[in-house]
Structure 1
C-alpha cells in the first residue's frame, strides 16, 4: 500500500517538471531490495493520473541491483534477493551489501510545444 504515497509524489514531481506540457513517459529507477512493486505503482499511477497532463503516460521501470562487497577479498558483485550468505569468490561470510533500495524519478518525456 506504500506504493500509493510514492506514486502520488512521483506524479506531483512530474507534473511540476512538465511545466503545463503533456507527459508522454516517466522513467523510474527501482532498487532490487526496495519493496516497491512495479504493477502496484502502475495501477495507482493510472488512477491518480486520470484527468491530468499525465493521463496515458507510459511508466518505464529500470531495476537496479544492490552490490555485495566481500570484506575478506574485496570482490564486488551485484546481488538481488535472496541475498547471498557467502562471497562467490572466496566463500567468506563477511559481506557488506549496499544500494538496491533506490526509488526515484530519473526523467520525464513531455510533448513538444
Structure 2
C-alpha cells in the first residue's frame, strides 16, 4: 500500500470509528504531538487510542483531507484537514516501517 493510500485508509477508519483497523496503521512507538491552546504529547498506541476515542465520544463529526503532500523520500506527509464544523488542522505524519511513527497536529481553530 502506498503512503497516500495508507493515510487515506487511516482517515477513513477514524471517520467511521473503526478503532481496530485504525490501530493497525500506528507504529507501536507512535508519538502524537497535539498543538492547540496548550501542547500535549501522547506516546504509544494504547495512550493514542484512549485519547482519540475520548475525543470522539458523543460526537459524529467527520473530516475530509483537503490537501496532501508527500516528501520525496516517501516517509513524511503533510495533510490539511477540515471537519464538518469548519474546524481546520494541519497534520504532519512521519512513517517508519510503513506505519505512522510520529504525528504533529496543529489545530488552527
TM-score bracket for the superposition, by shorter chain length: under 0.3
Of the two structures, which has the highest relative contact order with CA contacts closer than 8 Å and spacing of 6 or more? 1
TM-score between the two structures when normalised by the length of structure 2: 0.26
